[in-house]
């Protein structure tokens, strides 16, 4: 996937960092549970900050190999139907990262 490297426009000449979390199967509506979800199969993170508005794109790879191997082993799909399985079962959520949610370290 391709992502803006320096986050999303925060409306104040800066960029808000964000994460893209990738899941297989059902995803909880409770964003606080995403990080510890057994269904999360990968994550891409971006940078951000005041006066960090730069138009750069980063390519990020989320390896689905082990996820597909498990699905084939448990009979959820076959090698021949792997692409269809992923189309039906992979989803993602965007998570805005805010300094308010993390303790400050000085």
Q: What is the pLDDT of residues 27-61, one digit of tens each?
A: 999 988 999 999 999 999 887 776 776 777 888 89
CB contact set of 93 (below 8 Å; sequence gap of 6+): 20, 21, 23, 27, 31, 34
- The pTM score is 0.80
CA distance 41 to 54: 29
pLDDT in tens, 4-16: 777 777 777 778 7
Is the pLDDT confidence value at 100 over 70?
Answer: no
- Mean of the per-residue pLDDT values of the chain: 85
pLDDT at 65: 94
Domain assignments of the chain as residue spans, ordered by start: 2-61+90-99
């Amino acid at each position: 996937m391709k992502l803006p490297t320096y986050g999303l426009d925060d409306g104040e000449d800066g960029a808000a960092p964000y994460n893209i979390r990738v899941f297989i199967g059902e995803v909880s509506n409770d964003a606080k549970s995403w990080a510890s979800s057994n269904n999360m199969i990968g994550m891409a993170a971006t940078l951000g900050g005041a006066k960090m508005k730069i138009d750069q794109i980063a390519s990020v790879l989320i390896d689905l190999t082990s996820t597909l191997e498990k699905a084939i082993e448990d009979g959820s799909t076959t090698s021949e139907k792997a692409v269809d399985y992923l189309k039906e079962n992979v989803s993602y959520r965007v998570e805005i990262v805010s300094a308010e949610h993390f303790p400050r370290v000085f």
